[in-house]
Structures are given as structure tokens and as C-alpha cells.
Amino acid sequence: MEDVIGLLRESGAMLEGHFLLSSGRHSDRYFQCARLLQYPDRAAAALEGPAARIRSDMAAGKLAVDAVVGPAMGGIIVAYELGRLLGLPAFFTERDERGAMSLRRGFEVAAGARFLIAEDVVTTGKSSGESAAVLEALGGRVAALACLVDRRAPGTPLPWPLYPACTVAVSDWEAGSCGLCAQGLPLVKPGSRPPGP
């Protein structure tokens, strides 16, 4: 996991400052994983750890996965790379014109298919949950979640087993109690999803 943190730093993907997260919370760090994922060799190196653990659990009969799905935008390359490493098909969910997560572009879900959801960063699991709801409504089942960075607050639950490339402790606050706001530091919204509850 230290090697992955090194890759994040080397790629300029771990930013420090005052950030508005898509969850609506404020944070002193932001992970712009696209900066790492632009390098195929670094993406492969960073995701080999979770892929190896997933392969091991699949071989032991602890996990069954038929395809990998990444929520757009951040999960697309992660899903593709994990699919390549695992020898599985990979595709993505995306927001429709109303902003609802959906399955488009002719991708299909076979009844009973088991999915690995792939994310760049997991903070609350909201995007993963939205993708899971789409897959389950179409007859699929989510077996596990994998990510480059697990930055969840301690005790934040997830309904599936998690396979992170690295886990990083990060400070974050509700907007009304943010110490960085109190210091007058400018707030930056770098993500692709509008903030919300």
C-alpha cells in the first residue's frame, strides 16, 4: 500500500488544500486519481494488489465475479484495468440527462450476474451504491467493491467486501464546522459530481 501512496504522490494525484467533496463535506486532501491513471504502467502497478487479493479469494471460492463495473467518471479506467488484470469484461454506469446513474451504450446485465464495482476513491460509497442499484434493478448482484484509494472515515460501513489499493486517513468536516473555512482558506471543488447530501 505504501507503494501506491508513492505512485499517487509521484503522479501529483494527492492534492493538499481546502476541497469541497461530492459528499458536501470539506477536506484537507483530495485525490485526483486521473493524474495517476493517465499512466497505464502506474495504473497496472497500483491495481495489481487488489487484483491479486480478488484472484486469491475467487480461487478459494470466497468470491465470484462475472464482470467489473465502474461509475463514470472516476471508475471507468479503474474498472477497465481491473477487468484486464482479472480477465473479465469491464464497462461503466453513467449519469443520464436527469443526473441519475444509469446503464447506457448497449451494455447489458445478465440475470444473476455478479459484479465487482470499481472506483477511483471511496469516501462514503455513494457512487458505488448508485451503480449497485442500477445493476440490481436489472437482475445483477454486487459481490464486492475495489478502489485505488479508501479514504472513508473510520467506522463508515459498506455493504460489500472492499479491496482497496491503499487506505489513507484524511481529515474532513461538515461545511458548518470546517476549520479551514474558519481560517478563510479558499474552497476548491475539483470533482466531476456536484456536491450533495
Q: What pLDDT score does 11 carry?
A: 94
Q: What pLDDT score does 179 carry?
A: 87
Residue 69, C-alpha cell as written in the block = 463495473
Taking every pair of C-alpha atoms in the chain, what is the biggest distance, in angstroms? 53
Map out the domains of the chain as residue ranges: 2-182
User: Which alpha helices (DSSP H) does 1-151 contain, by range?
Assistant: 2-10, 34-37, 40-59, 75-86, 126-137
Q: What pLDDT score does 126 carry?
A: 86
Q: What pLDDT score does 190 carry?
A: 81
The secondary element (H helix, E strand) that includes residue 182 is: helix 179-182
Classified by CATH at the fold level, domain 2-182 comes out as: Rossmann fold (3.40.50)
Q: State phi, psi for 143 to the nearest 5 degrees.
A: -95, -30
Q: What pLDDT score does 136 carry?
A: 95
pTM higher than 0.85: yes
The beta-carbon contacts of 97-106 under 8 Å, at least 24 apart in sequence, are: 99/194, 100/130, 101/71, 101/127, 101/130, 101/131, 101/133, 101/134, 102/134, 103/134, 103/135, 103/138
Q: What pLDDT score does 24 carry?
A: 83
pLDDT tens digits, one per residue of 7-17: 999 999 999 89
Q: What pLDDT score does 191 carry?
A: 64
Low-confidence ranges of the chain (pLDDT < 50): none
